[in-house]
Amino acid sequence: MFRFANIEFLYALIAIPVLVIGYVLITRHKRRQLRAFGDPALVEQLMPNASQTRPIVKFSILMVALTLLIIAAARPQHGVTEKTEEQRGIEAVVALDISNSMLAEDVAPNRLDRAKQMVSKLVDNMSNDRVGLVVFAGESFVQLPITSDYASAKMFLSSITPELIRMQGTAIGEALNRSIACFDPEVDDISRVILIITDGENHEDDALAAAQRAAEAGIQVIVIGIGKPEGTTIPVPGTFSVMKDKEGNPVVTKLNEEMCQQIAEAGQGFYVHCDNTNTAQRIIQKHLDELKTTTFDGVSYKDYNEQFVSFALIALLLLIIDFFIFNRKNKLLTKMDVFGEKTLMLAVLLACSTTAFAQKESRDIRSGNSAYRDSMYESAEVHYRRALETNSDSYAAQFNVGNALYRQNDSAKYEAALKAYQRAAYLMDSEHKDDPVKYAKAMYNAGNCHKQLNRIPEAIEAYSEALRKNPKDDEARENLAKLLQMQQQQQNQQNQQNQQQQQEQQEEEQQEEEQQEQMSQETAEQLLQALEQEDKRPQPQGQKRPLEKNW
């Protein structure tokens, strides 16, 4: 199978006949000037070193070289190669607590950043292992499926913040269940580890039972407790204050070592305390190195065989030949016109490097598309993000990352997908490429994310923006109409509720006034009776009746 990866570059071939026509016209003009100067035979004798054929040969060589460079830039491809990467190592899933309590600064710089530093160093020491990443607070989700792509692992790790999860708390049991599901049950004879990094506080579910299930599945649970048992306050990001409870008292978060030890024991692992030293990292690294390793398949993919190198090399050879062909016959009387050759040689190098980067980006996108078609959305996300590492301004990679995140059906993933779509739309605005159709697609999908997150006004705004750029988008128009109708219904319901609340409030105020009036009458009668009885009592000689309080 033969194809061009960047077939749009072939449009540049239109320049070849234009240059040929221009050269022919200029040559004819020069010849007319020579004939006007004098007899052609006499003029030719006056210029014995001039050559009529060499300029034509040089120009022809340059045109052929330019044609080959354009073809090379279009990246001709022929044949398909299947590649399967085999690796030998262990599988480890890091379950990282990202609740607000992890912002406490009893370890430097804070618990979350200290945990991220430790995980980053563990990943740096991995060579043939596979690693996954789960983040949790009151709920959990898979941030990165198990992979051997350490660059993506560190990229995902660096982007973790407590804002990824809205529901706060510490649901360790759910995080363990999510981590267990990351492993492939069909792969046997391999060491599997779950590294839980948490402060163990606000335990909300049965983590011990989840740890026991992991042990029964042959997965060892290692718990890394971070923080100090005596506890500290939690700073509020962007302010100089600390978090407070409902009563206005500062919240103090403490490391629950007892809970961490119980979970590790139930998971047939061990507990280690992480502080400002590297002791915990060395203990875990030593244990991981001692675990049994096995051989497993990496990512299998099909790749087209690139043929652009052959065209680029032939073009480079022609340019070298052209470099040594002079316009005149006598080498001593000519000066080599090297400016054009050097420029074209530089163009060759730039074209080769550009196509090399484009090759890697396209390969990652193709691998992501293949995983996406197989409904392996987490794996597709990894491939698309690798394409973004090659070219952060790639609309296709940004848009596809958003699609892969959206298909994972998770509230936190919807947030990340929204950012990807917004970035893709930004790349297509008037300041960059100004492609209204692609811009509208990105904004339409951004509206879908807002809709899933129940942000009706933002979704309406996104759909409206998509229609503004592409009025032919019927799906955006239909969704916009539905949301406007839904918004109107919600406003009507809200108005009815407000009226009902106002009416109920008025009735309550009226009842309170009646009760207060009734109580005032009863209280007045009781006071009068008490005064009458007090007046009837005999007063001792030499004493005055004490004054009453001012009510």
Which of the four pLDDT bands, split at 50, 70 and 90, describes residue 523? low
* pLDDT (0 to 100) of residue 539: 45
* pLDDT (0 to 100) of residue 8: 87
Q: Which CATH superfamily is domain 91-292 in?
A: von Willebrand factor, type A domain (3.40.50.410)
Which of the four pLDDT bands, split at 50, 70 and 90, describes residue 337? very low
Phi, psi dihedral angles at 98 (to 5 degrees): -125, 30
Q: Pairing between strand 271-274 and 252-253?
A: unpaired
β-bridge partners, 252: 233
Q: Where are the domains of the chain?
A: 91-292, 392-503
**What's the pLDDT tens digit per position in 211-262?**
999 999 999 999 999 999 888 999 988 888 888 888 888 888 899 899 899 9
- What class is the 392-503 domain? mainly alpha
Q: Which two tokens stand for residue 220?
A: 């060892």
How does 104-116 read in b/e, with b if 16+ C-beta sit within 10 Å? bebbeebbbebbb
Sorted by sequence, the CB contacts under 8 Å of residue 55 that are 6+ apart come out as 27, 327
pLDDT of 533 strictly over 80: no
Which of the four pLDDT bands, split at 50, 70 and 90, describes residue 121? very high
pLDDT of 299 strictly over 90: no
Sorted by sequence, the CB contacts under 8 Å of residue 524 that are 6+ apart come out as none
CB-based contacts of 46-51 (< 8 A; 24+ apart in sequence): 48/329, 49/328, 49/329, 49/330, 49/333, 49/334, 50/328, 50/329, 51/327, 51/328, 51/329
Could you give the C-alpha distances from 69 to 57, 79, 189, 265, 438, in angstroms and in order?
A: 18, 21, 52, 65, 29
pTM of this structure: 0.47
**Residue where the block lists tokens 């290692």:** 222
Which DSSP symbol is given to 50? B
* pLDDT (0 to 100) of residue 293: 60
Average pLDDT, the chain: 80
pLDDT of 512 strictly over 80: no
In sequence order, what DSSP letters do the residues of 90-139 get, joined into one string? -EEEEEEE-SGGGG--SSSS-HHHHHHHHHHHHHHT-SS-EEEEEEESSS
pLDDT of 336 strictly over 70: no
Instruction: Check: CB of residue 200 under 8 Å from CB of residue 170.
Output: yes
* pLDDT (0 to 100) of residue 263: 92
Between 546 and 502, the higher pLDDT residue: 502
**What's the pLDDT tens digit per position in 16-56?**
999 999 988 988 887 777 677 666 666 565 555 666 777 88
Q: Determine the average pLDDT of the residues in 532-539.
A: 54
**E strand residue ranges, 206-288:** 219-226, 232-233, 252-253, 271-274
**What's the pLDDT tens digit per position in 271-293?**
999 988 889 999 999 998 888 66
Q: For residues 387 and 381, what is the distance between their CA atoms, to the nearest angstrom? A: 10
pLDDT of 351 strictly over 50: yes
**What's the pLDDT tens digit per position in 172-182?**
999 999 999 99
CA dihedral 104, 110, 113, 119 (to 10 degrees): -90
Which of the four pLDDT bands, split at 50, 70 and 90, describes residue 184? confident
